[in-house]
Amino acid sequence: MKKGRVGLRQTKKDPPPSFYSVAVHTLPPLKSYEEVVYGTGLVVTSPNHLHYVPQLHPPVAAPRVTQPPAPSRKKQSCCRTDARCCGGSWGTFLLLIMLGLAIWLGIRYGTRLATTSILYGYDDGAVSGGSDGDDDPPSVPSHDTCPNTTVECDARRDCLLGSDENNCVRLAVDGGLQVRTNEDSRYLPVCYHGWDKSYADRTCAQLGFRTCYGTKALDSPESIGLTVNSDAHVSIQGLVDISASCPSQKTVSLQCLDCGRQKSTSRIIGGSVAKQGQWPWQLSLHFRGSHTCGGVLISRDFVVTAAHCFPSENPSTRDPKNWRVYGGVLSQTSLSRAYRPWKIILNENYNGKTNDQDIALIKLSAPVDFNDVVQPACLPAFNQRFPHGTACWISGFGTTDAKSGIISKELMEVTVEIIDAQECNHTRIYGGMVSKNMMCAGDLNGGRDSCQGDSGGPLVCQHEERFYLAGITSWGIGCGEKQQPGVYTRVKMMLPWIYSKMQQERP
């Protein structure tokens, strides 16, 4: 499952698969590229920075319109020979000036078009059944606008999309709730005194979840905290006041979702077929009827996956009408009821050339019903660590043979170890290509890895009987090669982005 691959495999008898590289689809074409067809999609091989390329149906080519060539003319100065030509040139010149002025005005008075979130949506009725709607996507702002008087975390929405109030709440490993207000730029714990279920529900709803799963008191030595008041504000940052200390030194622990739990816990280490209910957050994303990428359920309404599953050069991949999401699936030959995407939300800072911040969210058109085989993974806490050597798990429907490029019909799993970023960036491995927003996992001796078709799938690590989403399958070089582990989007670094988008699109 790496580089958009999910060929979970580990074998002692068989050598690791031969070198298999797939170029980042946004790289400019090079003469040395060799086009190869895997499944139904067209991909390109290159020795450059690589990632797992989703298996997409090739777009339908528009008919080519040809026109008879214009009669050749001898080059000459139009202004010396043809007044009409001169007039046309001046008209073009004036048009260019006006266009330049419009662009300048857009940059001067518009907003950050270069950092726009890409939002697509449509009204398609129920989760499944019925025909696809033909309605145009709802009109949504493509960027946020904020007045000069904007104050962050004051519980008043100044910006059009509310970005000034999005990153004011975070959760610690123990569930400790921390809030930032306009009175103090620090994240401070919330005192348990006066706290109740209604405050907990409002806070979880603010984060993009529907209600709170559980809340309790924590013993805390903190000398300063936030006490709840009776203010009518909806946002938690408007419901608290700074206090010199918390009564009884108790602060709030909050859990918005019952997550990261398995029905089945028996497993075989290394490239085995997953069992029913073992990875209930694993999703299969189908583009035009075929498995293309993995995904991870993180709430009743939201799926996290890789941004490179929606390449800009294929606009049809960014239309939610072309996608279906399947949960609780162990085999591609036996699919469950499909969930329909409502919006595809791409990280505006995703870099297709380096794969930095390779993450996207899908908002579903209706909430998912949880059961034994469909459950969400836990998002990590802002201070959660997954140190070098931690045993974690990857899963997916990616190819198990890098040479074939054919996805696995069965859901596969394999255990991998977290590899220190400094070691992964060593010249003998990835030579500095791993950013702070990425993490490495696998086996430096080769044999255990993700592969093509695993893009967007989960890298989960267990902590106190729950599984936390540490990474999203992103890229790598080859599948199962020595000194070439899988590279994953570091979810902890993406938490502000994830929560901000969930808040903007909350049910």
Residues 6 or more apart whose CB falls under 8 angstroms from that of 393 comprise 279, 413, 414, 415, 416, 458, 459, 460, 461, 467
57 has catalytic annotation? no
What integer pLDDT is reported at residue 500 of this predicted model? Answer: 93
Do 1 and 449 form a contact (C-beta atoms < 8 A)?
yes
- Given the residues 21, 117, 395, 455, select the one marked as catalytic: 455
Q: Sort residue 129 into left (φ over 0), alpha (ψ -120 to 50) or beta.
A: left
- pLDDT < 70 positions in the chain: 1-143, 264-271, 401-404
What integer pLDDT is reported at residue 345 of this predicted model? Answer: 97
What integer pLDDT is reported at residue 406 of this predicted model? Answer: 81
Alpha carbons within 13 angstroms on the beta-carbon side of residue 196 total 4
What integer pLDDT is reported at residue 115 of this predicted model? Answer: 32
Beta bridge partners of 121: 343
Per-residue model confidence as pLDDT tens digits over 136-166: 333 333 467 899 999 999 989 889 888 888 8
Quote the tokens at residue 428.
Answer: 């003998």
What integer pLDDT is reported at residue 94 of this predicted model? Answer: 59
Which residue, 289, 294, 262, 302, is CA-closest to 8?
294
358 has catalytic annotation? yes
395 has catalytic annotation? no
- Given the residues 301, 356, 358, 443, select the one marked as catalytic: 358
Per-residue model confidence as pLDDT tens digits over 6-50: 445 443 333 332 222 232 333 223 222 222 222 223 233 333 445
Q: Is 289 helix (H, G, I), strand (E, B) or coil?
A: coil
What integer pLDDT is reported at residue 203 of this predicted model? Answer: 95
What integer pLDDT is reported at residue 190 of this predicted model? Answer: 96
Cα 173 to the chain's mean position, in Å? Answer: 22
What integer pLDDT is reported at residue 455 of this predicted model? Answer: 93
- Given the residues 308, 450, 454, 500, select the one marked as catalytic: 308
pTM of the predicted model over 0.85: no
Quote the tokens at residue 68.
Answer: 């008879």
